[in-house]
Amino acid sequence: MAEKVTRGNGSQWLLSLPALAMFLGLLIVPLALTAILSFNVFDAVRGSQSNFTFGNYIDVLSDGYYYELFLRTAGMSLGVTVICVVLGLPETLFLSRMRSVWQGTFFVVILGPLLISVVVRTLGWSILLGRDGVINNVLISLKLAQRPVQLMFTMTGVVIVLTHVMLPFMIIAIWSTLQKVDAQVAHAARSLGAGPWTTFRRVILPQLLPGILSGSIIVFTLSASAFATPALIGGRRVKLVTTAIYDEFLSSLNWPLGAAIAVLLLLGIAFVVVGSNRLIERRFKQVFA
Amino acid sequence: MSTRSIGENGPAALLFHTLFTAFIVAPLIVTILVSFSDKGYISMPFEGASLRWYRAILDAPDIIGAFWLSVWLGLGSATLAIAVAIPAAIAIARYRFSGRDALMALLLSPLMVPHVVLGVAFLRFFSMLSWTGSSIALLLVHALIVVPYALRLTLGALIGLERDAELAARSLGASRWTSFRRILLALIMPGVVGGWSLAFIQSFDEVTMTIFVATPGTTTLPVALYHRVSMLTDPVTTSVSTIMIVGTMGLMFVLDRIVGLDNVLIGKK
């Protein structure tokens, strides 16, 4: 039988050269340039100057407005993450119990939207959520509401739509861990007298935790960096980090300040990802081993 | 192994599942319905259906131009991405070397870096090099952000592959290139096709990064749609969206036949 892997002999770098060149030239260099830009001085008349300053970071970190922006973004992302766990976990379990024909069908229905443009999905929601939208018409005709409920241009609306966009990621993450759960252990618990709820809580849930946590990291970071959905559903009323960056770059044209906010967003997300990975590794060493 | 034996779904579970599915499909169904309305504003087609918003697309040259740009961008960037991803995937799957994990992390990093940050970085980069408004530049950065998808599926096909057939070909006199093309590439073709298709879809759908660097001459379909949706009252957005939904479903069907949709979406090893 031929060896599947070889010790590196230099050809590995030759093979990766095209990809490496592309990533160096088109990713590392532009990101470094943005980091440098964030230390440049902005002049309303002459645009960004190449003098070095911490001013943009001081502006962002000392201004309550930007604090609120980051806190609102983090709070929203946390909310979306929690709702995705609460809805995604039971749905994944129910999917796993279906006969394979139904399972296949509903996988396509539930995960398929991932491949449809987020602008299209958001447009559908703006039709549903508007003042004369489908949801308000139903609420009023059922006499559940006296007058239209304001959902467009509110945080509630943004959270609903982001939940819709993020749920498939949560389901994928939980599903891949569920595949490793040994059904025999659940059987053993049941035959030893545990009820279905106890079996779920004490036997299945602990094994699913790594999947729930990695799904949560994905959903949290993608929510914090989402742009099109909050911009279209929240509009100018729900200001978030990403929409603020967009405004600095394309309306106020204060590129250095926008770059500083972008760098802080990137650092914040990196911090969350690295931090929670550490936590998962420490907590679940025995599960992964 | 089946996890089905954990239990069966009761009526409460089925109710939850029904509501959940309704939540997922509602925005898509509403969009499709509204696209057949005959009114000049966003409304349901029950009091008069027509195809006027499909005909209206033909009178919107900006949408048609954006569509073709997105198609070319998708084809070009997916092809470029798979071309750099295949050799890199071979290096990662077949060799053990220091820096292997770092290489992998770097090539997957466009998934982690927020697209807003990438948009900002490319805007800055393009303006420094006077690349603003160049569709080639847009193609290059689209290729960069879809490399992770191309890489993941190609790697999935490569890992665990036996090398016997390749070695047999080589010992029978096939050149390195021939044995790569006729043996290895043929063996990993489903992964390559899946990776290419996923890369195409991701490029075609990309909006957040592109919106920063798009100029009037390089507006992609999602960016054009974004600008129209932000003004809201235009039902032509729904007919364009319906075509995109149907197109994506068609692609999904083809992908399911070639590689299996669960392979593409879940990345089963």
Can you give the pLDDT at residue B262? 73
Share of chain A above pLDDT 70, in %: 95
Q: A23 to chain B, minimum CA–CA distance in Å?
A: 7
Share of chain B above pLDDT 90, in %: 65
Please report which confidence band the pLDDT of residue A267 belongs to, taking 50, 70 and 90 as the band edges. very high
Can you give the pLDDT at residue A68? 93
Query: Taking a C-beta distance cutoff of 8 angstroms, is the pair B86, B248 a contact?
Result: no
The answer, yes or no, to whether residue A101 has pLDDT greater than 70, is yes
Query: Taking a C-beta distance cutoff of 8 angstroms, is the pair B114, B51 a contact?
Result: no
Can you give the pLDDT at residue B100? 93
CB-based contact, A54 to chain B, within 8 Å: no
Nearest residue in chain A measured CA to CA from B151 = A19
Please report which confidence band the pLDDT of residue B261 belongs to, taking 50, 70 and 90 as the band edges. confident
Indicate the average pLDDT of chain A.
Answer: 89
Helices in B5-163 by DSSP H: which ranges?
11-34, 52-58, 61-94, 100-108, 115-129, 135-158
Would the CB atoms of B117 and A31 count as touching at under 8 Å? yes
* pLDDT 10s digits, B222-248: 999 999 998 867 889 999 999 999 999
Would the CB atoms of A8 and B162 count as touching at under 8 Å? no
Which is the CATH superfamily of the domain at B59-266? Answer: MetI-like (1.10.3720.10)
Pairing of strands B95-96, A6-7: parallel
CATH-assigned architecture of domain A32-178+205-288: Orthogonal Bundle (1.10)
Query: Taking a C-beta distance cutoff of 8 angstroms, is the pair A224, A73 a contact?
Result: yes
Query: Taking a C-beta distance cutoff of 8 angstroms, is the pair A85, A170 a contact?
Result: yes
Would the CB atoms of B125 and A30 count as touching at under 8 Å? yes
Nearest residue in chain A measured CA to CA from B27 = A124
Q: Virtual CA dihedral for A238, A242, A243, A246, nearest 10 degrees? A: 170
Residue type at A242?
Answer: T
Residue type at B83?
Answer: A
Can you give the pLDDT at residue B1? 39
Backbone angles phi, psi at A237, to 5 degrees: -75, -30
CB-based contact, A153 to chain B, within 8 Å: no
Tell me the mean pLDDT in the region A32-60.
Answer: 84
CB-based contact, A214 to chain B, within 8 Å: no
Token readout for B234 is 């235009």
Share of chain B above pLDDT 70, in %: 96
Can you give the pLDDT at residue B267? 60
Lowest mean pLDDT among A198-202, A234-238, B4-8: B4-8
Indicate the average pLDDT of chain B.
Answer: 90
The answer, yes or no, to whether residue A95 has pLDDT greater than 50, is yes
Tell me if residue B38 falls in helix, strand or coil.
coil
CB-based contact, A231 to chain B, within 8 Å: yes
Can you give the pLDDT at residue A221? 95
Q: A64 to chain B, minimum CA–CA distance in Å?
A: 22
Q: A78 to chain B, minimum CA–CA distance in Å?
A: 17
Q: Which residues of B touch A128 (CB under 8 A)?
A: 26-27, 30
Can you give the pLDDT at residue A104? 85
The answer, yes or no, to whether residue A130 has pLDDT greater than 80, is yes
The answer, yes or no, to whether residue A289 has pLDDT greater than 60, is no
Q: Could you tell me which residues come within 8 angstroms of residue A161 by beta carbon, excluding any fewer than 6 positions away?
A: A121, A122, A125, A129, A229, A233
CA dist A250 and B79 (Å) reads 31
Q: Is A163 exposed, middle or buried (0-12, 13-18, 19+ CB in 10 A)?
A: buried
Tell me the mean pLDDT in the region A64-69.
Answer: 92
Q: Which residues of A touch B16 (CB under 8 A)?
A: 90-91, 94
CB-based contact, B265 to chain A, within 8 Å: yes
Can you give the pLDDT at residue A3? 58
Lowest mean pLDDT among A41-55, A238-252, B163-177, B184-198: A41-55
Q: Which residues of A touch B245 (CB under 8 A)?
A: 116, 120
| Residue of A226, A106, A278, A168 whose CA lies nearest to B267 | A168
State ipTM.
0.90
Lowest mean pLDDT among A88-92, A258-262, A273-277, B22-26: A273-277
Can you give the pLDDT at residue B2? 42
Can you give the pLDDT at residue B5? 42
CB-based contact, B114 to chain A, within 8 Å: yes
The answer, yes or no, to whether residue A45 has pLDDT greater than 50, is yes
Can you give the pLDDT at residue B269? 39
Can you give the pLDDT at residue B4? 42
Domain limits of chain B?
A: 59-266
Tell me the mean pLDDT in the region A8-36.
Answer: 94
